[in-house]
Amino acid sequence: MKNYRRLLQYIRPYLRRLGIAIICIICAASANLYLPWIIKDMIDDVLAAKNMAMLNVISIGIVVVFLFRGIFYYGQSYLVSYIGQRVVIDIREVMFKKFQRMPIAYFDKHQTGETMSFVTNDVAAIQTALVDKLIELFTEGSVLIGSLVMMFYLDWKLSLLTLIVVPMVGYAMRIFGKKLKENGTVIQERIADITSLLQESISSIRTVKSFVREDFEIERFRKQNDLNFQAAMKNIKLTSLLTPTVEFLAALAVTFIVWFGGYEVVNGVLTAGALVAFLTYAVNLANPVKRIARVYGQLQQAMAAADRIFKVLDLEEAVTDHTNAIDLPRVKGHVTVDNVSFSYDGEHHALENVSLEVKPGQMIAFVGPSGAGKSTIANLIPRFYDVDSGRILIDDHDIRDVTLHSLREQIGIVPQETTLFSATVLENIRYGRLDATDAEVVEAAKAANADEFIRELPEGYQTQIGERGMNLSGGQRQRMAIARAILKNPQILILDEATSALDTESEKIVQEALDKLMLGRTSFVIAHRLSTIFNADQIYVIDHGKIREHGTHEELLKLNGLYSNLYNIQFRS
């Protein structure tokens, strides 16, 4: 109920429309309540008393009532659908905002497909509950209440006898509802697993085909699909049992009505028309109860999706602005890493007591074996993660005391794997600074040695790039990333093995662009190829999360230590 009430809070901005919709639902449902009364008047007043005037009134009444019923039905359907769609859009937007603000650590532990499933499948389950099922619930609820009122008006004793089965129906719905919600959670998890597998397989299609693993992937998907089928069938079994259970209890109520109502007609307490009308209302009572039972089961499944969504929304955003965070002023680029330790899992140190100082405009390089902690330092500077102990200062400002936006706006990152969006070349470069003019974008591309190849594309800067820019070469993608960084004009640069995946010719072109980019900026370069960092002001050799050596290229070679060993391995020939 807590999460159900929380879900209803999203309807609050649309309460006025909801109020009008409920009025329309009640008015439309009232037309259904008019029919049994017509039957009563037909039997008691028209057929028995031969009253033609009443027949004319009834005929006109039917036309008028159903004309207004059509109008009210349109109103209820449109308004409830509008509210449901708006609420779903609001929830989806809240979910997207949440994922945008979640720390990198969250995405390290969760598959992309699972994250996508929250925004698509889980929200879609809520959409069904809020639109179709909400209309049905209000409609059937109105018919149910209206039928009860009319039944009490016709014969209160017979009505009380009918209501004996209500507690039994409620108990059955409670038992089935709990099981349906539990199974609904399993269904949503299975759907999330399928989405994750699908995303993973499609995004890695080149790897799949290169290893000829199509049949293997098909089998993986078949097994996951079968698990989803089993969960869905369990849900169908529960809903299929709930409906006949409620119908049987409703049949008991009808049996009481037929016997006791017939007894009252025989003894002159009740007219034949009134009994037929009462029976019709009782059937009207049974049908809503049956439909509400079905809707209740479907709502429970939707609430399982809501539980999953709210569980994500309640997750703590570990890396956030502090209460008194200030905007970081334009920096010179003086960076101090002061006795920093960090662990990804809380147990094993990725960095341990690391300290270093970088003056404005210096180029600092990190080298060392894979997994030594080089990229971890690069991830801590823009606060993708927070340090466990120690501190990182930029121009004497602790980065935890400034806003994330003002910090990251002044840091440019060129990663090993460039991410490009399904947009034009112009829009991809402009991602570095959204208010940049076309001329500024072109200048940035020229500085990144990218202008020439861009103009050779079919539509130049207006060429649409495919997903992740896979129709461009690695070197072309890297130069676009560099152009994006140049356009951003940061004072601090992080180059995370920006040329390691390139061939020699592409590396030379990209390295020229990087040299232009680094000019006058504080630069952190993570490199496997030592040839790219010979001119670094300081080279830090990282191993097992600790700084083992540091100095210039020549100084480190003289130490004859780990750096010298790495150098000899690469340049032995």
Count of Cβ atoms closer than 10 Å to residue 345 Cβ: 10
Q: Which region holds residue 437: left if phi is over 0, alpha if psi is between -120 and 50, else beta? A: beta
| C-alpha to C-alpha distance for 555 and 28, rounded to whole angstroms | 88
Strand partners, 547: 542
Amino acid at 86: R
pLDDT at 539: 92
pLDDT at 1: 63
pLDDT at 246: 72
pLDDT at 440: 92
Cα 374–Cα 380–Cα 385 angle in degrees, nearest 5: 120
pLDDT at 356: 92
Is the distance from CB of 93 to CB of 99 less than 8 angstroms?
Answer: no
One-character DSSP codes across 170-203:
HHHHHHHHHHHHHHHHHHHHHHHHHHHHHHHHHH
One-character DSSP codes across 437-502:
-HHHHHHHHHHTT-HHHHHTSTTGGGPBP-GGGTTS-HHHHHHHHHHHHHHH--SEEEEESTTTTS
Is the distance from CB of 282 to CB of 120 less than 8 angstroms?
Answer: no
| C-alpha to C-alpha distance for 193 and 118, rounded to whole angstroms | 11
Instruction: Give the mean pLDDT per block of 10 residues along the chain (573 residues).
Output: 75 87 83 72 68 74 81 85 83 86 81 79 74 70 78 76 69 72 76 78 70 81 85 80 73 72 74 75 69 71 79 82 89 92 86 92 89 88 91 93 91 82 87 90 88 88 77 82 87 81 69 80 86 87 90 89 85 67
pLDDT at 290: 66
pTM recorded for the entire structure: 0.69
DSSP annotation of 357: E
Give, rounded to a whole angstrom, the gap between the first and last alpha carbons of the chain: 72
Tokens of 456: 């050779």
Residues 6+ apart with CB under 8 A from 118: 95, 99, 192, 308, 309, 312
Give Dmax over CA atoms of the chain in angstroms.
120
Domains and CATH numbers, the chain: 2-313 (1.20.1560.10), 335-571 (3.40.50.300)
| C-alpha to C-alpha distance for 427 and 422, rounded to whole angstroms | 9
Tokens of 332: 């010179």
Count of Cβ atoms closer than 10 Å to residue 268 Cβ: 7
Is the distance from CB of 449 to CB of 509 less than 8 angstroms?
Answer: yes
